[in-house]
Amino acid sequence: MVNVLIVEDSPVVRELLIHTIEYDPEINIVGTASTGEEAIKLSKLLNPDVITMDIKMPGIGGIEATRRIMEENPTPIIIVSSVIGSSEETQTSFEAMQAGALALFPKPPGYSEEAYIKIAAELTKSIKLMSEVKVIKRQPNRSFQKDALRETHYSKTARERVVKLIVIGSSTGGPVVLQKIFSHLPKNFPIPILIVQHMAAGFIEGFTAWLKHTTGFNVKIPVNEELIKPSTAYIAPDNRHMTINASGKIILINDDPVNGLRPSVSYLFSTAAQFYGANSAAVLLSGMGKDGAAELKILRDKDALTIVQDKESSVVYGMPGEAIKLDAVELVLSPQQIVDTFNSIAKIGTIPTTFGKSLLSFFLVSR
């Protein structure tokens, strides 16, 4: 049984959430709160497995309540937010993820709405999945710290490889890592970056706007057949696979879900392997499941640079862990080390044969 605390200031929405969540026999609602202050107090008193968190509330709002809970009594938190394209509330929801929330989810529509059954089922599934995540206590005002320096040698052959494309797969815990990465890349970064981020439908536009606004990097959702350009990050749109062809054009397609997902990391990685091979770098960030792991192995076999986020900095080590099991990984790096790797490649135009003291330490996975 998964014990849930519902935090929502609207009595109508609160009752809707209670009905929606308790319909699942494996979920038990242990309490409700209408303010951030109540949420902080009840999180300690009731010790729930998961908290669903509203954003806009009187007094302490959802962002500050999330931050306080993650500092004082770490609990998996799902932000349940209104979805209005790239609205202020949607973008504000991502600030709650910076504070420690794991996922975003739209508020269910009324019972009579056609989408209710699907959204309700996805919400209860997400609650049960998030209950399995082991969250850790957050330190107040923790910054993006660099790791200790040391000499390290690159694990591949001496042949240098020109990188023309970077592809990234990301899921639970990934949005905040992407925000950190793009905050530390130069605005004139010369290599196009394509990203598949697993996220509830309706939030991608807001996420893209938030990422662009908070980092200053050129982040956008592409249109079909858009030609990729340097200094730009492209995020796959809702419900369409994003691929790349030999001409450098992004192709958006409506094929069946892969690994139960559309867009799928696997779909993007497979076309990167097909058309870019050794001239690509691929990264799997924090996330549940195995999307992209097998295709990362294909990329490594084609001599591409393959990277996964390290376990210590990952919220969920599903996707990176699966890739390691398949021997698909060349480098296991912290977010800061990923930034330094990207910047090193951009500076010299190729994947270096040796990472010296100018870069951070790397944990290498040998073949």
Whole-number Å distance between alpha carbons of 221 and 160: 32
213 is catalytic: no
User: Given this model, what pLDDT does residue 108 score?
Assistant: 87
Identified catalytic residue from 54, 81, 198, 264: 198
pLDDT in tens, 71-85: 999 999 999 987 655
**Contact present, 189 and 219 (Cβ < 8 Å):** no
Identified catalytic residue from 126, 171, 264, 266: 171
Burial of 118-137, coded b for 16+ CB within 10 Å and e otherwise, reads ebbeebbebbbbbbebebee
Q: List, in sequence order, the alpha helices (H) in the chain.
A: 11-22, 36-46, 62-72, 88-98, 116-130, 174-183, 204-215, 265-275, 293-301, 318-325, 335-348
Mean pLDDT by 10 residues, the chain (367 residues): 96 94 95 97 97 93 95 95 65 87 89 84 93 75 44 42 94 95 96 96 91 96 98 97 97 94 97 97 96 98 96 94 97 95 83 43 37
User: Given this model, what pLDDT does residue 137 score?
Assistant: 65
Identified catalytic residue from 9, 291, 310, 340: 291
112 is catalytic: no
Q: Both tokens of residue 29?
A: 């609602």
Q: What is the DSSP letter of 333?
A: E
User: Given this model, what pLDDT does residue 88 score?
Assistant: 67
User: Given this model, what pLDDT does residue 27 score?
Assistant: 96
User: Given this model, what pLDDT does residue 326 score?
Assistant: 97
Closest by CA position to 336, among listed 312, 303, 365 = 312
Using a cut of 0.85, tell me whether the model's pTM lies above it: yes
The alpha carbon of residue 53 and the mean position of all alpha carbons in its chain are separated, in whole angstroms, by: 19
Sorted by sequence, the CB contacts under 8 Å of residue 220 that are 6+ apart come out as 208, 212, 232, 233, 234, 235
87 is catalytic: no
**Contact present, 314 and 320 (Cβ < 8 Å):** yes
User: Given this model, what pLDDT does residue 113 score?
Assistant: 79
Question: Which domains, from first to last, does the chain contain?
Answer: 2-130 (3.40.50.2300), 152-364 (3.40.50.180)
User: Given this model, what pLDDT does residue 281 score?
Assistant: 96
| H or E, element range at 26 | none
